[in-house]
C-alpha cells in the first residue's frame, strides 16, 4: 500500500497554507531533520530539511520537505516530458476545489471536465489539473457514484 507522497517545496509555510486551504488537510507533525542517516538516505551531503506531514481529508499523508541546505533550482517540466509526474487528490466538489486553488495561489488551473469513458472507473469523473506554488502538476478528481446494475426485467 502507499504510505505517503513526499513533495520537495521551495517555501514550506507557503505550501502548508496552500494545501491546507485547497484540500482541507491538517498539519499532523512538523520537524527539522539532519544528520548522517539523512545524508545516507538522500545522498545529499550536509542536508538539512524542514518537514511537515499533512493528513488529507479523505485519508493519506502528504509530506512536504523544504531543503534549507543545500538548495537548488526549481524543477520545471512540461506535462508531456518523460519523467513528469502528477499527484491526484480525491475531492468532493472539483468546481469548489478549483476556486479554492485559484484563490490560494495556484499558478494555473484548467477548467474541470467530465470524462466520458463507459465501462471505466473514470466514467463520469470530474477532473481538472492545476499547478501548485512550486509549479508541480496536481489533479483534483471528483468521482461520481457508480451506476447501479441494470434491473433484470425478465424475472
The pLDDT, as a whole number, for residue 148 is 53
Higher pLDDT, 76 or 88: 88
C-alpha cell at 14: 507557503
Residue 7 has pLDDT above 90, yes or no: yes
Residue indicated by cell numbers 505517503? 4
What's this model's pTM, rounded to 2 decimal places?
Answer: 0.87
Lowest mean pLDDT segment, chosen from 18-32, 59-73, 106-120, 141-155 = 141-155
Q: What is the CA angle 128-7-85, rounded to 5?
A: 50
Amino acid at each position: 500500500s502507499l504510505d505517503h507522497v513526499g513533495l520537495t517545496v521551495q517555501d514550506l509555510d507557503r505550501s502548508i497554507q496552500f494545501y491546507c486551504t485547497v484540500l482541507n488537510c491538517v498539519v499532523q507533525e512538523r520537524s527539522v531533520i539532519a544528520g548522517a542517516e539523512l545524508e545516507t538516505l538522500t545522498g545529499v551531503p550536509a542536508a538539512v530539511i524542514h518537514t511537515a506531514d499533512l493528513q488529507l481529508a479523505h485519508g493519506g499523508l502528504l509530506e512536504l520537505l523544504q531543503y534549507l541546505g543545500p538548495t537548488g533550482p526549481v524543477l520545471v517540466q512540461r506535462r508531456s516530458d518523460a519523467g513528469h509526474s502528477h499527484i491526484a487528490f480525491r475531492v468532493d466538489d472539483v468546481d469548489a476545489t478549483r476556486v479554492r486553488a485559484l484563490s490560494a495561489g495556484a499558478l494555473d488551473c484548467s477548467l474541470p471536465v467530465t470524462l466520458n469513458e463507459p465501462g471505466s472507473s473514470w466514467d463520469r469523473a470530474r477532473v481538472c489539473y492545476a499547478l501548485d506554488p512550486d509549479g508541480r502538476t496536481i489533479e483534483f478528481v471528483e468521482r461520481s457514484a457508480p451506476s447501479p446494475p441494470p434491473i433484470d426485467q425478465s424475472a
